[in-house]
Amino acid sequence: MAARSETERIAVARQRRTTPQQRLPWGSIAKHGILISTCGVILFPLAWVLLLSVKSLPDAYTNRIWPHHFDFGSYHRALTAIDTLPQNFENSIVVTVATMVITTTIAVLAGYGAARSVERIESIRARRAVLVGLGALMLAEYASMPIALQPCRVFAGTSAPACASG
């Protein structure tokens, strides 16, 4: 029995010598760090607005993020003072659902067509060029969103309807 435990110890020692030391997965750590930082950057303004909505008025003018006194009175006033609130919610839901259905339908049809057309291209360089071109179109669309959302800056000095204030 003593010989058996001696051979087991030798086998374990050999295994330790042959097993390379595991290195830290720096790529995975960096990836998770970037993802957590991005989540923080996205969630912090949302949390700030949520906390600002429950602050009392004097508390809102301080530089503290966390309120000393939680005040839900503004929610009560908003829910009771607006007579058309149910209609407003209904309109929002109808517009949101319609937009989602139309956008999803167009995206599925366009994606199917793009995938089928890229499959027919035999050259790898040409496939990459088509995919990069489609990506560039998407980036151009996203880059133009601030212009579409802020017409006053684009049409400064004109009679754009969104620029008419008071």
Q: What is the pLDDT of residues 104-138, one digit of tens each?
A: 999 899 888 878 877 777 788 888 888 888 888 88
Asked if 128 contacts 139 with a C-beta cutoff of 8 angstroms, the reply is: no
Q: Are 79 and 88 in contact (CB under 8 A)?
A: no
Question: For a pLDDT cut of 70, what percent of the chain falls above it?
Answer: 79
- DSSP code, position 70: B
User: To the nearest whole percent, how much of the chain has pLDDT over 90?
Assistant: 27
Give the largest Cα separation in the chain, rounded.
Answer: 97
- Mean pLDDT, all residues of the chain: 80
Q: How far apart are CA 41 and CA 54, in angstroms?
A: 21
Q: What's the pLDDT score for residue 2?
A: 52
Q: Coil, helix or strand for 8?
A: helix
Q: Give CA 75 to chain center in angstroms.
A: 27
Task: Locate the DSSP E strands across 96-136.
Answer: none
Helices (H) and strands (E) in the chain, counts: 7, 0
CB 51 within 8 A of CB 63: no
Q: How is residue 74 written in tokens?
A: 């503004």
Question: Which pLDDT score is estimated for 29?
Answer: 92
pLDDT digits (tens, 9 = 90+) for 53-111: 999 888 888 888 888 888 898 888 888 988 898 999 999 999 999 999 999 999 899 88
